[in-house]
Amino acid sequence: MHIAIAGNIGSGKTTLTSLLAKHYKWHAHYEDADDNPYLNDFYEDMQRWSFNLQVYFLNNRFSQILDIRKGKHTVVQDRTIYEDAYIFAPNLHAMGLMTSRDYDNYFSLFKLMESLIKAPDLIIYLRASVPTLVKQIQKRGRDYENSIRLDYLKRLNERYEAWHSSYEAGKIVVVDVDDINFSESKEDLGKVIRIIDAELNGLFK
């Protein structure tokens, strides 16, 4: 079974991935942020490195999905391939930070990959306001994230909401991170687990 965590930068994807892997004894697949060769350059010069970064993420996510489908274990994945294609890449294009030529090339590559994969059995979408995202980004203290602009996070949030409302490839549930602090409250983590249990029970009916 393939469970995936979706959400904006700073929404708590990696934290929840780790907590769920521990609780359910699932295998965790994390986003390769620390070893990403483009991330620092991207935040310094988004226009120059946007295409390179998005192709790197696309390749990384596609490889993860192939590994997940080959394996026999239940896997929880930190971020989905859909977020790259339907949120981050079009946002960069709309902001003038990726050329139309590069975006069209990128999206064509994504559609080819999409035709070869199966959607996750369940996506957990972590919804968070910009103030919550900023607070959590500052808390984890990654140097390359210090230059992230508020309007960038706001635009991403708008695209996340549009994507979530139109997603039809599989099951998706929403966890409101403004109200549920699963990283610091065992009670709140219990709420998330009950939401997931209800969905998982539904999958097997």
What is the set of active-site residues? 78
Task: Report how far apart, in Å, the C-alpha atoms of 126 and of each of 47, 63, 87 are.
Answer: 27, 23, 14
Between CA 133 and CA 135 the distance in angstroms is: 5
Count of C-beta atoms within a 10 Å radius of residue 31: 17
Cβ atoms of 182 and 156 within 8 Å: the answer is: no
From residue 28, how far is each of 17, 84, 118, 175 by CA, in Å?
7, 19, 18, 19
CA within 13 Å, CB half, 24: 24
CB atoms within 10 A of CB 79: 23
